[in-house]
Amino acid sequence: MKAAGCGWRAPTPRSAITSSSATGRPTGAVRSSGGEIQFHHNLVAANQADNGSGTLFQDPVLADLHNNVVIDNSFNGVVIVGGMQARVRFNTLAGNGVGQGGEAIALDNVATAEVRANALRNNHIGLRVSGGTQVTLVRNSLWANQGDYAGIEAGPSDLRGDPRHANGPLGSFYLSNVAAGQPSNSPLIDASGITVHQAGLQETTTRTDGAADQGMADIGSHYVSVTGTGRVWLPIVRSP
Protein backbone atom coordinates (compact mmCIF):
# COMPACT_ATOMS: atom_id res chain seq x y z
CA MET A 1 0.00 0.00 0.00
CA LYS A 2 1.13 3.54 -0.66
CA ALA A 3 -0.36 6.03 1.76
CA ALA A 4 -1.58 9.34 0.43
CA GLY A 5 0.34 12.53 1.04
CA CYS A 6 4.04 12.21 1.64
CA GLY A 7 4.64 9.17 -0.56
CA TRP A 8 6.06 6.68 1.92
CA ARG A 9 5.01 3.05 1.94
CA ALA A 10 3.02 1.85 4.89
CA PRO A 11 4.17 -1.35 6.59
CA THR A 12 2.61 -4.73 6.09
CA PRO A 13 0.10 -4.23 8.89
CA ARG A 14 -0.56 -6.31 11.94
CA SER A 15 -4.01 -4.74 11.81
CA ALA A 16 -4.85 -2.02 9.28
CA ILE A 17 -7.39 0.73 9.91
CA THR A 18 -7.41 2.74 6.71
CA SER A 19 -9.44 5.05 4.48
CA SER A 20 -12.47 5.63 6.71
CA SER A 21 -14.49 8.85 6.44
CA ALA A 22 -16.63 10.70 8.99
CA THR A 23 -18.11 14.15 9.59
CA GLY A 24 -19.77 15.97 12.48
CA ARG A 25 -18.98 15.31 16.14
CA PRO A 26 -15.48 14.34 17.25
CA THR A 27 -14.77 10.84 16.04
CA GLY A 28 -12.00 8.56 14.84
CA ALA A 29 -11.39 5.49 12.76
CA VAL A 30 -10.72 3.88 16.15
CA ARG A 31 -12.79 5.26 19.02
CA SER A 32 -13.20 4.13 22.60
CA SER A 33 -14.54 5.62 25.84
CA GLY A 34 -13.54 4.70 29.37
CA GLY A 35 -11.82 1.59 30.63
CA GLU A 36 -8.27 0.40 29.96
CA ILE A 37 -7.15 0.61 26.35
CA GLN A 38 -4.27 -1.33 24.82
CA PHE A 39 -3.54 -0.35 21.22
CA HIS A 40 -0.44 -2.18 19.99
CA HIS A 41 1.13 -3.12 16.62
CA ASN A 42 -1.41 -1.45 14.32
CA LEU A 43 -1.43 0.65 11.17
CA VAL A 44 -3.78 3.66 11.13
CA ALA A 45 -3.56 5.38 7.75
CA ALA A 46 -5.33 7.80 5.41
CA ASN A 47 -8.52 8.21 7.44
CA GLN A 48 -10.65 11.30 6.81
CA ALA A 49 -12.66 13.32 9.36
CA ASP A 50 -13.32 16.96 10.10
CA ASN A 51 -12.65 16.42 13.84
CA GLY A 52 -10.67 13.35 14.81
CA SER A 53 -9.76 10.95 12.00
CA GLY A 54 -7.12 8.60 13.41
CA THR A 55 -7.74 7.36 16.95
CA LEU A 56 -9.90 8.98 19.64
CA PHE A 57 -9.76 7.68 23.20
CA GLN A 58 -11.97 9.43 25.75
CA ASP A 59 -11.72 9.23 29.55
CA PRO A 60 -9.63 6.06 29.78
CA VAL A 61 -8.32 4.74 33.06
CA LEU A 62 -5.24 3.88 30.99
CA ALA A 63 -4.56 4.39 27.29
CA ASP A 64 -1.45 2.45 26.24
CA LEU A 65 -0.36 2.99 22.62
CA HIS A 66 2.71 1.00 21.65
CA ASN A 67 4.51 0.25 18.37
CA ASN A 68 1.92 1.64 15.96
CA VAL A 69 2.32 3.42 12.63
CA VAL A 70 -0.10 6.36 12.28
CA ILE A 71 0.22 8.14 8.94
CA ASP A 72 -1.57 10.53 6.60
CA ASN A 73 -4.75 10.96 8.64
CA SER A 74 -6.54 14.13 7.60
CA PHE A 75 -6.93 15.85 10.97
CA ASN A 76 -5.34 14.15 13.99
CA GLY A 77 -3.32 11.00 14.40
CA VAL A 78 -3.78 10.12 18.09
CA VAL A 79 -6.20 12.01 20.37
CA ILE A 80 -6.61 11.23 24.07
CA VAL A 81 -9.15 13.33 25.98
CA GLY A 82 -9.56 13.09 29.74
CA GLY A 83 -8.73 10.03 31.76
CA MET A 84 -6.18 9.10 34.37
CA GLN A 85 -3.10 7.90 32.50
CA ALA A 86 -1.72 7.69 28.97
CA ARG A 87 1.40 5.97 27.65
CA VAL A 88 2.41 6.69 24.06
CA ARG A 89 5.61 4.78 23.28
CA PHE A 90 7.60 3.60 20.26
CA ASN A 91 5.17 4.81 17.61
CA THR A 92 5.85 6.45 14.26
CA LEU A 93 3.48 9.27 13.27
CA ALA A 94 3.89 11.01 9.93
CA GLY A 95 1.87 13.21 7.60
CA ASN A 96 -1.05 13.76 9.98
CA GLY A 97 -3.17 16.93 9.96
CA VAL A 98 -1.32 18.51 7.06
CA GLY A 99 -4.43 19.55 5.13
CA GLN A 100 -6.67 20.43 8.08
CA GLY A 101 -4.29 21.76 10.72
CA GLY A 102 -4.34 18.86 13.16
CA GLU A 103 -1.73 17.08 15.22
CA ALA A 104 0.13 13.80 15.29
CA ILE A 105 -0.58 13.49 19.04
CA ALA A 106 -3.11 15.59 20.97
CA LEU A 107 -3.48 15.20 24.74
CA ASP A 108 -6.27 17.14 26.45
CA ASN A 109 -7.06 17.07 30.17
CA VAL A 110 -5.23 13.79 30.82
CA ALA A 111 -4.09 13.49 34.44
CA THR A 112 -0.64 12.07 33.62
CA ALA A 113 0.98 11.06 30.35
CA GLU A 114 4.30 9.58 29.26
CA VAL A 115 5.33 10.20 25.65
CA ARG A 116 8.50 8.22 24.96
CA ALA A 117 10.60 7.20 21.98
CA ASN A 118 8.16 8.21 19.27
CA ALA A 119 9.19 9.40 15.80
CA LEU A 120 7.04 12.35 14.67
CA ARG A 121 7.77 13.73 11.23
CA ASN A 122 6.07 15.78 8.50
CA ASN A 123 2.93 16.42 10.56
CA HIS A 124 1.13 19.75 10.89
CA ILE A 125 1.86 19.78 14.65
CA GLY A 126 3.88 17.04 16.27
CA LEU A 127 2.50 17.18 19.83
CA ARG A 128 -0.25 19.39 21.27
CA VAL A 129 -0.97 19.44 25.02
CA SER A 130 -3.91 21.24 26.63
CA GLY A 131 -6.30 21.24 29.59
CA GLY A 132 -3.69 20.90 32.31
CA THR A 133 -2.32 17.55 31.11
CA GLN A 134 0.84 16.62 32.99
CA VAL A 135 3.25 15.18 30.44
CA THR A 136 6.67 13.59 30.69
CA LEU A 137 8.56 13.70 27.39
CA VAL A 138 11.44 11.25 26.96
CA ARG A 139 13.63 10.74 23.89
CA ASN A 140 11.14 11.56 21.13
CA SER A 141 12.30 12.46 17.62
CA LEU A 142 10.62 15.43 15.88
CA TRP A 143 11.51 16.37 12.33
CA ALA A 144 10.04 18.48 9.51
CA ASN A 145 6.72 19.13 11.26
CA GLN A 146 5.17 22.51 10.48
CA GLY A 147 5.29 22.95 14.25
CA ASP A 148 6.89 20.49 16.65
CA TYR A 149 5.11 21.43 19.90
CA ALA A 150 2.00 23.35 20.95
CA GLY A 151 1.09 24.02 24.58
CA ILE A 152 4.31 22.46 25.85
CA GLU A 153 8.05 22.96 25.62
CA ALA A 154 10.37 20.42 24.07
CA GLY A 155 11.45 17.61 26.35
CA PRO A 156 15.06 17.95 27.54
CA SER A 157 16.04 14.66 25.89
CA ASP A 158 13.98 14.99 22.69
CA LEU A 159 15.83 14.86 19.36
CA ARG A 160 15.31 17.33 16.53
CA GLY A 161 17.10 16.22 13.40
CA ASP A 162 16.65 14.07 10.33
CA PRO A 163 15.77 10.54 11.55
CA ARG A 164 17.16 9.08 8.30
CA HIS A 165 14.33 6.69 7.64
CA ALA A 166 14.94 4.10 4.94
CA ASN A 167 12.68 2.08 2.66
CA GLY A 168 12.70 -1.65 3.31
CA PRO A 169 10.77 -4.83 2.59
CA LEU A 170 7.82 -3.96 4.85
CA GLY A 171 7.64 -0.17 4.65
CA SER A 172 9.33 3.20 4.73
CA PHE A 173 10.19 3.62 8.41
CA TYR A 174 13.28 1.48 8.83
CA LEU A 175 16.33 3.29 10.17
CA SER A 176 19.37 3.90 8.02
CA ASN A 177 22.12 1.64 9.32
CA VAL A 178 25.61 1.15 7.91
CA ALA A 179 25.55 -2.48 9.03
CA ALA A 180 22.46 -3.05 6.86
CA GLY A 181 23.98 -1.39 3.80
CA GLN A 182 22.96 2.26 4.10
CA PRO A 183 25.60 5.01 3.86
CA SER A 184 25.03 6.42 7.36
CA ASN A 185 23.50 5.62 10.73
CA SER A 186 20.21 7.08 11.92
CA PRO A 187 20.47 9.09 15.16
CA LEU A 188 17.47 7.08 16.41
CA ILE A 189 19.52 3.89 16.72
CA ASP A 190 19.95 2.83 20.39
CA ALA A 191 18.54 6.23 21.43
CA SER A 192 15.38 5.43 23.43
CA GLY A 193 17.09 5.27 26.81
CA ILE A 194 15.73 1.80 27.67
CA THR A 195 16.56 -1.72 26.55
CA VAL A 196 14.71 -3.72 23.93
CA HIS A 197 13.46 -6.02 26.70
CA GLN A 198 12.22 -3.11 28.80
CA ALA A 199 10.47 -1.73 25.73
CA GLY A 200 8.75 -5.05 24.97
CA LEU A 201 10.24 -5.12 21.47
CA GLN A 202 12.12 -8.42 21.45
CA GLU A 203 12.46 -10.00 18.01
CA THR A 204 11.59 -6.80 16.19
CA THR A 205 13.75 -4.75 13.87
CA THR A 206 14.38 -1.29 12.49
CA ARG A 207 16.98 -2.61 10.01
CA THR A 208 16.31 -3.27 6.33
CA ASP A 209 18.17 -6.58 6.57
CA GLY A 210 15.78 -7.77 9.29
CA ALA A 211 18.38 -8.17 12.05
CA ALA A 212 16.68 -7.87 15.42
CA ASP A 213 17.04 -4.76 17.55
CA GLN A 214 19.29 -5.58 20.51
CA GLY A 215 20.64 -3.82 23.56
CA MET A 216 19.24 -0.31 23.83
CA ALA A 217 16.02 0.03 21.86
CA ASP A 218 15.82 2.24 18.79
CA ILE A 219 13.34 5.13 18.71
CA GLY A 220 10.10 4.73 16.75
CA SER A 221 8.01 1.82 15.53
CA HIS A 222 9.60 -1.55 14.82
CA TYR A 223 8.91 -4.22 12.21
CA VAL A 224 8.77 -7.96 12.72
CA SER A 225 12.30 -9.35 12.55
CA VAL A 226 13.17 -11.98 9.94
CA THR A 227 15.73 -13.43 12.34
CA GLY A 228 15.28 -15.04 15.73
CA THR A 229 12.65 -17.58 16.74
CA GLY A 230 9.80 -16.39 14.56
CA ARG A 231 7.51 -14.70 17.06
CA VAL A 232 4.01 -14.13 15.68
CA TRP A 233 2.81 -10.57 16.30
CA LEU A 234 -0.91 -10.08 16.70
CA PRO A 235 -2.59 -6.68 16.75
CA ILE A 236 -4.01 -5.54 20.05
CA VAL A 237 -7.01 -3.26 20.24
CA ARG A 238 -8.45 -3.93 23.65
CA SER A 239 -10.95 -2.03 25.76
CA PRO A 240 -13.99 -2.97 27.85
Answer for the pair 191, 170: CB distance below 8 angstroms, yes or no.
no
> What tens digit of pLDDT does each residue of 55-101 get?
999 999 999 999 999 999 998 999 999 999 999 999 999 999 987 88
> What tens digit of pLDDT does each residue of 114-160 get?
999 999 999 999 999 999 999 999 999 999 999 999 999 999 999 99
pLDDT value of residue 4? 32
| Cα distance between residue 23 and residue 38, in whole Å | 26
Residue 235 in this model has a pLDDT that exceeds 90: no
Greater pLDDT, 234 or 36: 36
**For the chain, what percent of residues have pLDDT higher than 90?**
74
CA angle 29, 32, 38 (to 5 degrees): 95
Q: Are strands 21-22 and 69-71 parallel, antiparallel or unpaired?
A: unpaired
